Amino acid sequence: MEIPENPRIAIVGGGSWATAIAKILLETNEHINWFMRNIETINAFKELNHNPRYLCSVDFDLSRISFTDNLDKLIARSDIIIFAIPSAFLKNVVAKATRPLKDKIVVSAIKGMIPDDNLIIGEFFHQQYEVPLEQIVVISGPCHAEEIALERLSYLTFACDDTRVARLVSQLFNCHYVKTTISDDIYGTEYAAVMKNIIAIAAGICHGLRYGDNFQAVLVSNAIQEMERFVAAVHPIERDIKSSAYLGDLLVTAYSQFSRNRTFGTMIGKGYSVKSAQMEMLMIAEGYFGVKGIKEINDQYNVHMPITNAVYNILYERISPALEIRLLTEQLR
């Protein structure tokens, strides 16, 4: 496709990651379009000059933002559309649009899968909305929204089949606290992003069960091997699993205080039911949906994935966390 010289940029989503992306983009771009489903949230944002629910410390220049709760209007006014909403909501949100997406650059900032369909986000837009793969960009890398709000140095990777498009989108995010790199591994980075959330849940469960740092190190070192086996099976290309898009993202999600998946896992390890943990958290733990999708995909490949299987058994088969993790410890080296 012909890449526009001064692309019109849009964000879909109203959560912490969408808000962090808006902050980054407005560092070096004059204007963004921003879709939120809830008109009350938009009105409160306009009144307060910040998101009323997430990253409230970040103030925005509202003259540089065009808000809308109409997705068709956003699509019509934008060349690059960045989706930053939980994967569980994506299907319903996009279904309300009547305008085509196949002539847009679609960027996924979603680290999850479409529940039940077992599709990573790039596959979803390619198969369901006929967006060419060379117009789909996936954002990955160790980057928490809370640290973006604090302007702490972060690194992001932009993956696309067409590296020209990946570079274009990456340049929109370059600022004094965000460094970017590009990749052509759209499948590997997406699957790795799903898996790191599963591992973070496992790390949280172990933390809740009072396993210490020594065991956590063994868990994560086994996890990167598990991730490498799986992505090599589903998309066998040459990649360096030790790079920040894979290992870096895994480490920060497994260890960070800001990791919602680790927090969710910790609650499960401490005895919360899945439902009660979900109700108490203000944000979605993508790994809950992701582990079911990865487990069902792996039924076709039969990759050795003891950590993924353990998390699945705890969350979906209601096996005792203490028992399941004790069994897992016998499989790790």
Q: Would you name the residues annotated as active-site residues?
A: 196
- The end-to-end CA distance of the chain, in Å, is 48
| Cα torsion 115, 116, 122, 125: sign | negative
DSSP string, 35-88: E-S-HHHHHHHHHHTS-SSS-TT----GGGEEEES-HHHHHHT-SEEEE-S-HH
CA distance 148 to 236: 33
Does residue 145 have a known ligand-binding role? yes
| Distances from the Cα of 214 to the Cα of 220, 230, 307, angstroms | 10, 25, 17
Q: Answer yes or no: is 261 a known binding residue.
A: yes
Q: Put the strands of the sheet holding 178-183 in their side by side order.
A: 65-68, 32-35, 9-12, 80-83, 105-108, 136-140, 154-159, 178-183
The response to whether 89 counts as a known ligand-binding position is yes
Give the annotated binding-site residues for substrate: 111, 260-261
Give the annotated binding-site residues for NAD(+): 89, 145, 260
Give the annotated binding-site residues: 89, 111, 145, 260-261
